[in-house]
Amino acid sequence: MIDREQYTPGPASGAQVQKDRGQNDNDKDKWTLILVRELRHSPEKVWQALTDPAHLRQWAPFEADGSLGTVGTTVKLTWSGTSQVSETRVIRADAPKMLEYHDIRWELEALGGGTRLTLWHSIDRRYIAMGAAGWHICFDVLDRLLSGTPIGRIVAGEAMKFGWPRLNAEYAQQFGINPHLRKQAQEYEEAREVQQGLMPKQIPQIPGVEISGSWRPARIVGGDYFDVFDFSERRVGLCIADVSGKGMPAALLMSNLQAVVKALASEDISPKELVEKVNRVMCRNTTEAKFITLFYGLLDVDDKTLRYANAGHNAPILTRRDGAQVRLEAGGLILGIFQEGSYEEGEIELRPGDRLVMFTDGLSEAVDGEGEEFGEERVAELSRCTRHLSAEALRRGLLEQVTEFCTGGFEDDATILVVAVSEKDDRTIVM
């Protein structure tokens, strides 16, 4: 799979709407979206992608529990990012030319060596631009999938990070729906840039240790946070946190948390003290419905130790060179609940060849098409099997495995922070 982060959708194009009044009261608020895309692949190849459940799971905004390629077949469609499950009957299946089911009709027309694909989709008129933006991205993913360069499915909240707000505004303007959506989309993009700026621009490295981290919000902004504090040539602070919820509310609370942690973190304050102080501040700044999990550690190269406090966060996984694993659990409750909460401090020896993986639950709770979670056991096993890799390679490999497992459909923010201790105790920087 190529780096999906490089993907950017082109401008809104090839779409129109029919604003015909429906024939009954159930249809009167629906318009028909007509979206045309020219693909470089044969009608037979495109037909398979439109009808086969395994193919649909890699690009479409829904999953099907059976083939859509046979007239009369009843299939359940599960739409991504919602609890909506619709049972539909295949009305027409003239392979490889015409397919119709639910509120959707496809027409495939041979065009040179490729296919002109036309979609008719009946959608509530309030969401017609949103639908056009979503299908636009899905078509891009489909084209790359059929070309043998898949980037993973980009649907629901995941699409927010890949130009969906801009496309929504552009299609809305084309359809004459709401001129204010363009401004709203711009504000979302600016909010994402601001939040991206709160994450480490460059992760500091210290002798004998390599550190690598990444942040992947489920929506255009999110509630995950990580940081690495460069205290000296021998000491760094490591922080990873997760604010409950997603989207803008979680992002606002995350920015507050980031400011508090950054103001308090120093090599002179212990992890226990820092977490207790952060908790007192966040208790005053959060509502009853919101909470935060946080892990903070102080890594000392000279003492070869990691002192830490875990406030209800997913326990990081420390993998030894021989494959043995330890979970870093010492600490206490989540932040933002009890103002006078106290926390234990743990300490663990760091040895040559150790790999420490810190992560948020968006990684371990990513689900596949059957609703099965990736799970912490898989995270631990992958960490063990890839313990020989650098921090950067281990992090990228783990994220790629989870992305493939959930076909890119992350329902929650996913953040990873990996520390690799040099195989040799030579105090040299591992690059």
CA dihedral 196, 199, 201, 205 (to 10 degrees): -160
Whether pLDDT at 92 is above 90: yes
Q: Which residue has the higher pLDDT, 401 or 249?
A: 401
Instruction: Give the chain's largest Cα–Cα span.
Output: 78
Q: Which residue has the higher pLDDT, 321 or 219?
A: 321
399, 216 Cβ separation under 8 angstroms: yes
98, 92 Cβ separation under 8 angstroms: yes
Q: Phi/psi of residue 385, each to 5°?
A: -70, -25
Whether pLDDT at 418 is above 70: yes
Q: What is the pLDDT of residue 431?
A: 28
pLDDT per position as a tens digit, 264-287: 999 999 999 999 999 999 998 877
Q: For the chain, give the percent of residues with pLDDT over 70.
A: 90
Neighbouring CB atoms inside 10 A of 424's CB total 11
- Mean pLDDT is lowest, of 75-89, 140-154, 198-212, for 75-89
What is the arithmetic mean of pLDDT over 325-349? Answer: 94
Whether pLDDT at 209 is above 60: yes
d(CA 321, CA 41) in angstroms, rounded, equals: 48
CATH architecture of 199-421: 4-Layer Sandwich (3.60)
d(CA 341, CA 333) in angstroms, rounded, equals: 8
Residues of the chain with CATH 3.30.530.20: 4-189
Q: What is the pLDDT of residue 2?
A: 54
d(CA 279, CA 310) in angstroms, rounded, equals: 12
Whether pLDDT at 218 is above 80: no
Whether pLDDT at 162 is above 60: yes
Q: What is the pLDDT of residue 344?
A: 96
- Mean pLDDT is lowest, of 55-69, 159-173, 187-201, for 187-201
Whether pLDDT at 22 is above 70: no
- The alpha carbon of 278 is separated from its chain's Cα centroid by a whole number of angstroms, namely 27
Q: Which residue has the higher pLDDT, 14 or 177?
A: 14
Q: Is 81 exposed, middle or buried (0-12, 13-18, 19+ CB in 10 A)?
A: middle
pLDDT per position as a tens digit, 193-206: 777 777 888 898 88
Whether pLDDT at 426 is above 50: no
Tokens 């255009």 belong to 220
pTM of the model: 0.64
d(CA 48, CA 86) in angstroms, rounded, equals: 21
What is the arithmetic mean of pLDDT over 295-310? Answer: 95
What is the arithmetic mean of pLDDT over 251-260? Answer: 90
Buried b (16+ CB within 10 A) or exposed e, 177-215: beeebbeebeebeebbeebeebbeeebebbebbbbbbbb
227, 298 Cβ separation under 8 angstroms: no
CATH architecture of 4-189: 2-Layer Sandwich (3.30)
What is the arithmetic mean of pLDDT over 279-298? Answer: 88
> Which residues lie across from 109 on neighbouring strands?
116
Residues of the chain with CATH 3.60.40.10: 199-421
Q: Which residue has the higher pLDDT, 252 or 45?
A: 45
